[in-house]
Amino acid sequence: MKETDREAVATAVQRVAGMLQRPDQLDKVEQYRRREARKKASVEARLKAAIQSQLDGVRTGLSQLHNALNDVKDIQQSLANVSKDWRQSINTIESLKDVKDAVVQHSQLAAAVENLKNIFSVPEIVRETQDLIEQGALLQAHRKLMDLECSRDGLMCEQYRMDSGNTRDMTLIHGYFGSTQGLSDELAKQLWMVLQRSLVTVRRDPTLLVSVVRIIEREEKIDRRILDRKKQTGFVPPGRPKNWKEKMFAILDRTVTTRIEGTQADTRESDKMWLVRHLEIIRKYVLDDLIVAKNLMVQCFPPHYEIFKNLLSMYHQALSTRMQDLASEDLEANEIVSLLTWVLNTYTSAEMMGNVELAPEVDVSALEPLLSQNVVSELLDTYMSTLTSNIIAWLRKALETDKKDWSKETEPEADQDGYYQTTLPAIVFQMFEQNLQVAAQISEDLKTKVLVLCLQQMNSFLSRYKDEAQLYKEEHLRNRQHPHCYVQYMIAIINNCQTFKESIVSLKRKYLKNEVEEGMCLSQPSMDGTLDAIAKEGCSSLLEEVFLDLEQHLNELMTKKWLLGSNAVDIICVTVEDYFNDFAKIKKPYKKTMMAEAHRRIVVEYLRAVMQKRISFRNADERKEGAEKMVREAEQLRFLFRKLASGFGEDADGHCDTIVAVAEVIKLTDPSLLYLEVSTLVSKYPDIRDDHIGALLAVRGDATRDMKQTIMETLEQGPTQASPSYVPIFKEIVVPSLNVAKLLK
Q: Tell me what pLDDT residue 516 has.
A: 47
Do 649 and 624 touch, CB atoms closer than 8 A? no
Confidence tier at 523 by pLDDT (50, 70, 90) = very low
Tell me which of 24-33, 64-73, 100-109, 267-276 is least confident. 100-109
Q: Tell me what pLDDT residue 738 has.
A: 46
Q: Tell me what pLDDT residue 150 has.
A: 67
Average pLDDT of the chain, as a whole number: 82
Q: Of 371, 386, 405, which closes a domain?
A: 371
Contacts of the segment 739-744: beta carbons below 8 A, 24+ positions apart: 739/612, 739/613, 739/694, 739/695, 739/698, 740/691, 740/694, 740/695, 742/698, 743/694, 743/695, 743/697, 743/698, 743/708, 744/694, 744/705, 744/708, 744/709
Q: Tell me what pLDDT residue 620 has.
A: 86
Q: Of 524, 559, 589, which closes a domain?
A: 524
Let me know whether 266 and 317 are in one domain. Answer: yes
Domain containing residue 705: CATH number? 1.10.357.70
Does residue 632 have a pLDDT over 70?
Answer: yes
Do 343 and 371 touch, CB atoms closer than 8 A? yes
Confidence tier at 655 by pLDDT (50, 70, 90) = confident
Let me know whether 727 and 597 are in one domain. Answer: yes
Let me know whether 569 and 712 are in one domain. Answer: yes
Do 26 and 20 touch, CB atoms closer than 8 A? yes
The amino acid sitting at 297 is M
pLDDT in tens, 419-432: 888 999 999 999 99
Let me know whether 184 and 271 are in one domain. Answer: no
For the chain, percent of residues with pLDDT exceeding 90? 11
Tell me which residue range forms the domain holding 384. Answer: 376-524
How many angstroms separate the CA atoms of 615 and 627, rounded?
12
Three-state secondary structure call for residue 576: helix
Let me know whether 437 and 584 are in one domain. Answer: no
Does residue 393 have a pLDDT over 90?
Answer: yes
Let me know whether 295 and 326 are in one domain. Answer: yes
Mean pLDDT of 622-646: 88
Mean pLDDT of 33-46: 83
User: Bigger pLDDT: 553 or 238?
Assistant: 553
Confidence tier at 571 by pLDDT (50, 70, 90) = very high
Let me know whether 345 and 252 are in one domain. Answer: yes
Let me know whether 232 and 324 are in one domain. Answer: no
Residues 6+ apart with CB under 8 A from 33: none
pLDDT in tens, 444-459: 888 888 998 898 899 8
Let me know whether 401 and 504 are in one domain. Answer: yes
How many independent structural domains does the chain possess?
Answer: 4
Confirm whether pTM is higher than 0.85: no
Q: Of 495, 524, 553, which closes a domain?
A: 524
Q: Tell me what pLDDT residue 742 has.
A: 43
How many angstroms separate the CA atoms of 304 and 292, rounded?
19
How many angstroms separate the CA atoms of 403 and 467, rounded?
12
pLDDT in tens, 145-178: 677 666 666 666 665 666 555 555 556 555 555 5
pLDDT in tens, 660-715: 988 988 888 877 788 888 888 888 888 888 888 888 888 888 777 777 787 777 77
pLDDT in tens, 480-520: 888 888 888 999 999 999 899 888 888 888 887 764 455 54
